[in-house]
Structure 1
Amino acid sequence: MTVSTPGLSGLRRAGALAAATLAAVALGVVPGARADAASGTLPIGDADLTEITTSRVLADGVTLTHIVRGTEPAQPDQINTTSRGPWVVNVLTIDPRRARGHLKATYGTNLGQVEKTTDLVRDSGALAGVNASFFTFTASPLYPGDPVGLGLYGGKLLSEPTIEPGEVNFVVDANNNRALTGKLTWSGSARNRRTHTVLPLEFINHPPVVPAGCTAVVDQSVCTEPGDVVQFTPEFDSATPAGVGVEVVLNRLGCVVRTATTRGTTLAVGQTSLQATGRDAGALLAVAGRGCLDLTSTLTDQRGRKLGLRPGLFGVNGRYPLTANGRIVVPDGGSDSFFARNPRTIAGTTRDGKVVLATIDGRQTTSVGTTLDETAAVAQALGMSDAVNLDGGGSTAMAAQGALVNHPSGAERAVGDALVYVEGRYHGGN
């Protein structure tokens, strides 16, 4: 155990080696102003706060660290303003040079539903893990687990990154535990092999929206308002979303096996479907016909280079980078409550290639949480040269060795996916 008070050196962070890189891609990062070097304690709150650190080894190359900064509970009405804390931080550190397992993302039974982080960790046979992506939650009652952004699992792109400027992605190769952060973009299309006509895709595994002026139109092909064109895979849910519009089911060769003038069907292994609403319904029928389609799906990094989808590649979505090349890069959030004190989940890498997953408890008198600026300062102090802010708030959770490690702000919430560390080499699967 390390007890750190003013005048005593606390956590020591090293990092002289070059950052590890994925063999097939280098995700871009956002430049910014370098913050002051970490003093050895977490650089949040008053300088005279006592900080207590305990660590334990979970497995070769895997360490769990518990940090408490501040000793007195906060007053309930001062959680968002106090400079006395307390703050409770849990840190999972994975050293790829020594670890004998692999880091990956998992969404559980299917993509559209939610499960608790503790269940995702246990059901995947993992040693430890944290919640990961932002997901639709209450915005989509039928499919609450649908990722709001990138969802890449075992080399399968099951959810496309958004064009929102705040989205940032965390990508890891389970074959070597190398990880990077950055922003990916996506494009997709369906092309008829015989006629060569092309129809752009707008989403992957995301329920299409029916245009407001056509909600009462049963035959969407006569609608004059643009709708959505979406690709669905069997991983999404037990059935594709039902409703007005059209749906075309393709076999593993890309050839049409059935067409319906309403949406909603069950897909067999190897099948995929395309759904369309609004006037795009007619466009889909025209492109598909009774022929065969080539579906394209391309991920591109910030430098315009394609990311090859290969087995073992996983990626989740976050909101806003925290650090990049050792610099704090949090944008100005103004009065947006997202930037205020909340529970937080962080993923990042150190300069010598370690992967760090951390949670910060919040909205409690026993741990007040962090602003996004404070979160970045914590990430930097923990040695994360590149770090992203994952889903937080009520979703923040860390589990290890079958038990919940942190204290969520309420009952543990079911989430869309998780980043988990599994002992043993990666052998496929989500």
Structure 2
Amino acid sequence: MTTTSYRAGLSRAAAATAATLALLAAPSAQAADAEPGLPLGDADLAETRTSQSLADGVTLTRIVRGTEPAPADEINTTTRGPWVVNVLTIDPRKARGHLDTTYGPDLARTEKTTDLVRTTGALVGVNASFFTFTANTQYPGDPVGLGLYGGKLLSEPTSDPAEVNFVVDSRSDRVVMGKLSWSGSARNRATGASLPLEFLNHPPVVPAGCATLPDQTACTRPGDVVRFTPEFAASTPSGAGVEVVLDRRGCVVRTSATRGTALTAGQTSLQATGREAAALVRVAAGGCLHTTSVLVDEKGDRVPVHQHLHGVNGRYRLTAGGQVVVPDGTGSFFARNPRTVGGTTEDGEIVLATIDGRMTGSVGTTLDETAAVAQALGLHDAVNLDGGGSTAMSVRGELVNKPSGTTERFVGDALVYRD
């Protein structure tokens, strides 16, 4: 599996799209009587559930709770709904495919979830990580937190206590959730001189007052040290600072007094700004570097990274051990929004769900309500993935849910199930 390949369009996916949509348009008998209602709004709300088998061990269920559109000025407060929830359930004991991640042509760009599903030939997928998103940045798809794709750690988990990670082994479809930590370093093999790394594939910040210095190694203010890989973009971020390019053995290919270069296959680079620029030049002088990149879990145990390991970032654990664990909070993030949820049941089924929101046809959920939905769906452990305008679920490259904006948002990465 190569997550960075971005094929133009697969005949297999195109041929299956019409059949899939027809299947979704003609759902099986309603199953509302077989399941308890979602804990949303008033107890007397009507709720319907329709389910379809998309493949062996893969089921899509659409839940609609409430029947009347919400008044536009009551979306954030109504107890009458409605709510529209799409739930994808993958049973690894029966499913023949596997869950993994994809981010498109390169890490720094954004793509629609539908395109990520279609071009990877996946059966179904949902948006995943929180990402930079800012419209005025050159690298909007850069993950804000963990980005682990087919054993390649391309973005480190942050120290933000709200970040929680969703990690899956695509061989077994075993999922673990929790807070990961990262550390990295570069050490000269000959001299032993070393330098800690601060980030992976994130544009470094140039300290105020240092951008115009003729000699960047003269800056005395704290800066950043970042490792870049070819997966980041067509070229590394340009600007003030220094950059050292390494070959696949870690040996120095060139050292530049400014940042910004194209990396070929097998090459990596280290960029430094501020006073770390001088430190990088010193560490890299005349030698080969050994770089380390270590993930550890909440217990402090090292996480072995292999080619089948994938991971994305979320914000806040929803359930842990079957119990709701969301913190108290205020503000827009905790208010009603569209939501994307990833989780597992106690017997190992994987569940990916979207909750439409910010519209009269589906009002969305608060973080507390999202956790209650996750628990009601039987999620023993669950994470709140990126939501809002990013929330999207796609089957064979076609939208299943209704995004809150006027069009589907471009996102940083996706969790996809390939059959």
TM-score between both structures, scaled by the size of structure 1: 0.90
Alignment partner, residue 322 of structure 2:
326
Separation of aligned partners in 2, 1:241 and 1:3: 53
Aligned to 2:359: 364
1:345 to 320, 340, 343: 340
Match of 2:103 in 1: 107
For 1:313, which of 288, 309, 330 is the aligned residue? 309
Q: Indicate yes or no: 2:380 matched with 1:385.
A: yes
The Cα offsets for residues 96-118 of structure 1, whole Å up to 9 and x where unpaired, read as 00000010010010000000000
Deviations 1:194-238 (A, max 9, x none): 111110000000000001232322422101101000000000000
Q: Quick check: 1:2 aligned with 2:30?
A: yes
2:15 aligned residue? none
Give 1:35-114 correspondences, 5 Å limit.
40-114=36-110
Asked if 1:220 corresponds to 2:199, the answer is no
Q: Counterpart of 2:293 in 1: which secondary structure?
A: strand
Deviation at 1:137, TM superposition (A): 0.4
SS at match of 2:63: strand
Residue 140 (structure 1) shift: 5.8
User: Partner of 2:333: helix, strand, or coil?
Assistant: helix
**Residue 124 of structure 2 aligns with which residue?**
128
Percent identity, aligned pairs only, is 71
Name the structure 2 match of 1:202: 198
Return the alpha-carbon distance in structure 1 between the equivalents of residues 118 and 169 of structure 2: 21
1:382 corresponds to which letter in structure 2? L
**Matched-pair contact (CA < 8 Å) for 2:121–2:396:** no
Q: Work out the CA distance in 2 between the residues paired with 1:298 and 1:371.
A: 35
Deviation per CA, 1:2-47: give whole Å up to 9, x if none: 364xxxx442xxxxxxxxxxxxxxxxxxxxxxxxxxxx11011000
Instruction: For 1:156-167, list aligned pairs within 5 A.
Output: 156-167=152-163
RMSD: 0.9
Contact 1:3 1:51 in 2 (8 A): no
SS of residue paired to 1:214: coil
Partner of 1:20: none
- Classify the secondary structure of the residue corresponding to 1:161: coil
1 CA distance for matches of 2:307 and 2:365? 36
For residue 116 of structure 1, the aligned residue among 109, 112, 117 is: 112
Stretches of structure 2 lacking an aligned partner (at least 5 in a row): 1-28
Question: 1:336: how far off?
Answer: 1.6
> Displacement of 1:290 after TM fit?
1.9
SS of the residue 1:378 aligns to: helix
Name the structure 1 match of 2:11: none
One-letter identity of the residue aligned with 2:315: R
Give the aligned residue type for 1:279: R
Q: How many residues align?
A: 390
- Structure 1 residues without counterparts, runs of 5 or longer: 12-39, 424-430
Q: Distance in 2 between matches of 1:2 and 1:380?
A: 21
TM-score (norm 2): 0.92
C-alpha displacement of 1:302: 0.2
Question: Which residue in 2 is equivalent to 1:396?
Answer: 391
User: Which of 227, 232, 237 lines up with 1:236 in the alignment?
Assistant: 232
Partner of 1:253: 249
The separation in 2 between residues aligned to 1:105 and 1:332, in whole angstroms, is 31
The runs of at least 4 aligned residues of structure 1 exceeding 3 Å deviation read: none
Q: Any idea what SS the aligned residue of 2:278 has?
A: helix
Mean CA deviation greater in 397-406 or 154-163 = 397-406
Q: 1:405 aligns with which of 400, 408, 412?
A: 400
Aligned to 1:295: 291
Deviations along 1:64-84, one digit per CA (max 9) or x if unpaired, are 000000000000000000000
Q: Distance in 2 between matches of 1:239 and 1:140?
A: 18
- Quick one: which amino acid aligns to residue 50 of structure 2? T
